[in-house]
Amino acid sequence: MLTNTSGPPACQTLQTTFQKALDRAYKNSRGSPKDKYHRILGKESWRAVGKEGYDHSLGMPRTMARIVESITFMVEEILANNVEGGVMETGVFTGFQSMAIAAAFKAHGVSDRDQWLCDSFNGLPRADPRYHADRGSAFHKLKRHELGGPAFTQANFEAVGLRDVVRQHWEVGFFNDTMPGLIPRVPKLSMLRLDGDMYQSTWEVLVAMYPKLQVGGFLVMDDYDLAPFRKAVDQFRKKYGITEVIVSPKVPVFKKKKLPNQGNYWRVERRVTIPLADIQETFLHAKSTLAAPTRRR
């Protein structure tokens, strides 16, 4: 039986833990308290979240606080309901949300969950002509997404004491290259967070990893306000008969607001199996290496 389905509560445990970690990492930094977030988010991302302002009572920008509370709710539900599996983020960038997930498990003394961190860490791919929804996409031209590899993000994890060289798996590359190899390596997931912006990136992850999600786990969407992303999710749900309600979570600290399509999620109520032919069609370049998936209990 699933518990606490009403929505995310205010989670002071993680908020305090994460804030203290940041304070330790940047206790010698000069300037305003928000300076420490520039390194975590990058200047461009800070400008985006900074539009809602910095709340000194919360110790972080308002948007970030809402995301942290929502993530904490999901982690606590996963633990309360004994949902098996690791967590995966596809689209890590500088790592804030991945660190929030890691901090949530750490706050509850959990150290036996695998965390899969998937990103090119060097921008987005050019649009594939097979995916009409991505036609005209200019995401590959955005220089702010180019970190030159995972080192910057890994340093962020190190700075806040959340780097785990055993349980964290850094999967570097575009998803059409990394997902086929991850299918046999990832046994189960309790949370899958999508942040690929494009139709192709979103579809590839869903085809490869959605069958790994266990009942009671969460599918989290960062970009549901982007038309190509939304189309990929909606078409995937329709094709495979996924009817779970999509939630735009209310957060008690902001009772009159909802997350603006960032952090929308659904809780998995039924396992889904993707036919091998569909997987092979999605990853044509890796077709010969993809074997029939085995159903894990």
Domains of the chain plus CATH, in order, are 12-289 (3.40.50.150)
Whole-number Å distance between alpha carbons of 18 and 4: 23
Cβ density class 146-173: b for 16+ within 10 Å, e for less: ebeebeebbebbebbbbeeeeebbbbee
The pLDDT, as a whole number, for residue 116 is 97
Contact 104, 96 (CB under 8 A): no
User: What is the DSSP-derived secondary structure letter of residue 210?
Assistant: G
Q: Are 122 and 108 in contact (CB under 8 A)?
A: no
Q: Distance (Å, rounded) from C-alpha 288 to C-alpha 180?
A: 11
The per-residue pLDDT for 49 is 46
Phi-psi region of 186 (alpha: psi -120 to 50; beta: other; left: phi over 0): beta
* Whether this model's pTM surpasses 0.85: no
What pLDDT is stored for residue 28 in this prediction?
Answer: 39
Of 204, 208, 220, the C-alpha closest to 266 is 220
One-letter amino acid of 235: Q
Name the residue type at position 198. Answer: M
Can you tell me the distance from the alpha carbon of 147 to that of 152, in angstroms, rounded to the nearest whole number?
7
Run of H or E residues at 87: strand 86-90
pLDDT of residue 3: 37
pLDDT tens for the chain, 297 residues long, are: 233 334 443 344 445 555 555 554 444 344 444 455 554 444 444 444 445 555 555 555 666 667 777 888 899 999 999 999 999 999 888 787 888 888 888 888 888 999 999 998 877 666 677 776 667 665 655 555 656 678 888 887 887 788 887 799 999 998 989 999 999 999 999 999 998 778 888 999 999 999 999 999 999 998 787 888 899 999 999 999 999 999 886 544 444 454 455 678 999 999 999 999 999 999 987 655 666 554 444
**Closest alpha carbon to 69 in 4, 12, 6, 23:** 12
